A and B are shown apart, each in its own frame.
Chain A
Amino acid sequence: MNTLYSLGELNSHIGFVLALAIGFFFGWFLEKAGFGSSRKLTGIFYFRDMAVLKVMFTAVVTALVGYRYLLAMGWIRQESMYMLETYWGAQIVGGLLFGVGFVMGGWCPGTAFVGLASAKWDALVFLVGAVIGSILFNEMFGLVQPLYEGGHAGVLFLPESLRVSWRLFPLLFCLIAVGAFAGSAWLERKFGEAGEGDVTPNPRNRAAAAVLLLAAAALLFVPVRVGDYEQVTDVAPNVLAEVAQAADHIAPEVLAEGLMAGGSGLTVVDIRAPEDYAKFHIRGSINIPLGKLQASATSLPHDRTIVFYSNGTTHAAQAWLMMRQWGWPNVLVLTDGVLGFWRHCLTPPSLSGVTDPGMARAAGAAFRLRRAFFIDAKDQPLSAGAGPEPSVPDL
């Protein structure tokens, strides 16, 4: 099934209705867990009430194991999912600051909605603060941008970062979770007071833990599908060889030269959502959102070189793989995507360190030519200084 994200329809009427319904259950379960109470939420930081750890870890392992099964059964395709990229600097600093704010404020954004629904005025004040914090981020964006984009590492998966097998990883994760649950019960007995936490040993919890571990252990025998980045068994060897030789990529400068020379023999496909395409696209490209590629692929020519781009390269690489497997001979991925294209081709060249004035002039002239071709000639105006914006949902 195609997800709304892959169809570029997250922000349509159906998307709003589904988000509202999913949000309802999200809020419902948070409230049932007691997360409409800031004292219960912060209990974890004093080892008195470990509900936050239990609820979060249970939700993560449920979704983690469930997701792997949905992938294995083909109900979800990894390429129709929105991928969160890793930005080391932003996520480390952001995480630390968030933690400080969480224990000070007593809420996080989601639980504060539930707190407000329970008429906790501290939740309202917290939410006002979070709105102010967001505005502050916008106002300070020039200052924090290097950190915001710092340590960009693309899409990284934990099993690969830790070099653990994809099949084994869910089981390891669940074992750690069950260990943490047992540790939590011990901490609550030691630090908590009567009535805090959930200290009664419950045979049903043990049975549930056993079911979880069995389900995760069964994943050891489930093959990891194409797109799961481990076993790409049904890809022809020549395709893998192309990837290995990086013959599957085209550099932004090369694409720019090709298009400015008339673009003959090139078909450039923007696979982002239509609204991102509407904001900015590379001149001459056509828009086919990734989720619609299968339906639209037949309209793409076999005798031209097809260049795919998204914001980065992950989704374009998925399009590349699909097209190669469906038999298109000449398919390329734009290196670093549209953001890289903007950075390399359409931002003024840095001339620091260039001592030869002739070279500096040539670089400046090339930049002005490209800018005239790709930006100034376009009928869609771009506000001064604004770059193409990522098609990433802001979570």
Chain B
Amino acid sequence: MSNQQNNDLSSKPKPYWSPYLAGFGLGLTLLASFWLLGTGLGASGGLARCAAWCEHLVLRGHVEDSAYFGKWFGDGSPHVMKYYLVFMGLGVFIGGFVSARRDRRIAPGVERGPRISSRARLILALSGGVLTGFASRLARGCTSGQALSGAAMLFTGSVVFMVCLFVGAYATAYFVRREWL
């Protein structure tokens, strides 16, 4: 991209793409993943590896004996972070960064509605994160691995997960409306 072009415009962020165009690109990315990897996209799996790695730094023996993370630390297993979804997560971050930078959308701050303090917003972000991290392990995937990838291959359980996700979110939305509206 030429710098002159940038200078002509103000430093205003560029508009988002049409959601249909972005969705089409995302769908093609998912297809490429099916074709090359034999499995879809995923985000929470990489996070779980990070979680196991962090916990292992502090509580080595405990994690190695634990029933869920323990299987990633057996004799002969590769390092816990040598997992394809860790690299995919890194790719998501880099792709997001390059796009946000080019479109001037990097704006440091805490995003929140006008009626909530930053502190309250961060507490809710943390609580929501805990719930989401737990639920992704329980359901064996998140919006990427179950809802998006699983629904595209028409797995019944994945579609059920997606429907339940929206049921849970709409049922809660009213109670956290001050966070967003």
Contacts and interface: CB of A to CB of B under 8 A. Distances in A.
A111 B147 CA distance: 14
Contact of A279 (B76, B127, B133): B76
Interface in B135-153: 135-153
**Interface of chain B: mostly helix, strand, loop or mixed:** helix
A22 B29 contact: yes
Contacts of B179: 104, 106
A373 to B, nearest CB: 21
Contact of A34 (B16, B41, B69): B16
Interface string A375-395: 000001101011001001111
Contact of A24 (B91, B107, B112, B150): B91
A10 interface: yes
Interface string B67-99: 111110011111000111101111111111111
Contacts of B177: 46
B77 A275 contact: yes
**Interface of chain A: mostly helix, strand, loop or mixed:** helix
B106 A119 contact: yes
Interface in A104-134: 104-123, 125-134
A112 B43 CA distance: 10
A32 interface: yes
Candidate in A95, A135, A157, A158 with the most chain B CB atoms within 10 angstroms: A95
Interface in A234-274: none
B161 A91 contact: yes
A365 interface: no
Nearest to B38: A3
Nearest to A144: B138
A46 B177 CA distance: 8
Contacts of B82: 11, 16
B154 A158 contact: yes
A19 B84 contact: yes
A20 B105 CA distance: 23
B130 A133 contact: yes
Given A6-B38, A129-B130, A95 B163 contact: yes
A134 B126 CA distance: 13
A56 B98 CA distance: 22
23 contacts: A3-B38, A6-B38, A20-B87, A22-B33, A24-B92, A32-B25, A38-B125, A55-B22, A75-B35, A98-B161, A99-B167, A105-B127, A108-B144, A118-B100, A128-B129, A137-B137, A138-B55, A141-B66, A147-B138, A181-B20, A275-B76, A394-B45, A395-B85
Interface of A: 1, 3-6, 10-11, 15-34, 36-40, 42-43, 45-46, 51, 54-64, 66-67, 70, 75-76, 80-88, 90-123, 125-139, 141-142, 144-145, 147-148, 153, 155-161, 169, 173, 181, 198, 202, 205, 208, 275, 278-279, 380-381, 383, 385-386, 389, 392-395
Interface of B: 16-45, 47-52, 54-55, 63-71, 74-78, 82-85, 87-100, 103, 105-113, 121-122, 124-173, 176-177, 179-181
